[in-house]
Amino acid sequence: MDSIDYRQEIGFYLNGRKCDFTKDVMNSFPHRDANDLCHGISFHCMAQGLVNAMNFYNFYIRSSDHERSETRAMTLRFIIGMIISTKRMKMKEEEIQNFVVNGIKSDTGSLLNDYRPHLRGLMYSMELLDQTQQAAEWVIETHMHHCTYYVNHILDLLYNEKTNLDYGYSVWNRSLQDAFDASACNYDRASQRFVITNEQDCIAVSNLLTYTLGEADGLENTENALFFYMTVIGENAMLYSSRNDPGLFQPATAVGPCSVQISYYNYITNQMEDIPMA
């Protein structure tokens, strides 16, 4: 199901549709209701990250200030950044750049193998447009719609990434909606902040903040889709998570953006860092 569309007047955007779980995913997480199957990186975050990347391309492909090959490479880097975030893969900047230059067109190696055909199709669609100087708007729009075909296939794979899925409690998951679902987080009273303690979550956040595109000045329809919810039970602040005790559930009306600083271990810089507050 196509969740990302394109219109000339607004660029790439989310149309409100969502992906579905594959039979393989449902067979891998048996014996519980599908509503208990929770995304760590939310669907909205994954989809908006792809939309941001494509609107970066849509904006700069029309600008004489940017080399088209550089614009194409940076767009693919943003998309690969979202893929490795969802897959919880550790990668260095040079590894990503090498994959953009050589890996997408290669038929060897298993790195991002499931995504390669769709990344390749997206790359070729952008290359065809890059070769068309001063193209008529209908030509640009046709190529952009070709891009949405491949981007939606990538989004479908992201939605079904098993490394981004785990059991939680549906009552919390429904209220969590578009926020990041941290597997484990402690509140440090000394520093008065939340600390993400799950290594895989730290890898995901490191990649999201380093290799993907959030809200960008001058680019319409971009949005910072990495955010957290918190709630307060009694005198205790608690990060909203589908793993929270269902007996402590607070309804959606009690949910608000996290106003407490959140820290995580950044594997790229090899140090604890703070997540920028929204």
String of DSSP letters for 67-101: -HHHHHHHHHHHHHHHHHHHHT----HHHHHHIII
pLDDT at 92 over 90: yes
Residue 138 has a pLDDT of: 77
- Judged on CB neighbours under 10 Å (0-12, 13-18, 19+), 197 is middle
What's the CA gap between 29 and 16, in Å, rounded? 26
pLDDT at 147 over 80: yes
State what percent of residues in the chain have pLDDT above 90.
Answer: 57
For the segment 155-211, what is each residue's pLDDT rounded down to a tens digit?
Answer: 999 999 999 999 888 888 888 889 999 999 989 888 999 999 999 999 999 999 999
Cβ(92)–Cβ(259) below 8 Å:
no
Helix ranges (DSSP H) in 88-213: 93-98, 116-130, 137-159, 170-176, 199-211
Residue 134 has a pLDDT of: 66
pLDDT at 135 over 70: no
Residue 107 has a pLDDT of: 74
Determine the distance from the C-alpha atom of residue 262 to the mean position of all C-alpha atoms in its chain, rounded to a whole number. 19
What's the CA gap between 79 and 155, in Å, rounded? 10
Between 1 and 214, whose confidence is greater? Answer: 214
Cβ(194)–Cβ(183) below 8 Å:
no
For the segment 13-71, what is each residue's pLDDT rounded down to a tens digit?
Answer: 999 898 999 999 988 987 666 677 899 999 999 999 999 999 999 988 877 666 888 99
pTM: 0.94
For the segment 60-79, what is each residue's pLDDT rounded down to a tens digit?
Answer: 887 766 688 899 999 999 99
Q: Which two tokens stand for residue 44?
A: 């909205």
Residue 217 has a pLDDT of: 83
pLDDT at 118 over 80: yes
pLDDT at 270 over 90: yes
Residue 211 has a pLDDT of: 97
For the segment 247-267, what is each residue's pLDDT rounded down to a tens digit?
Answer: 888 887 778 889 899 999 999
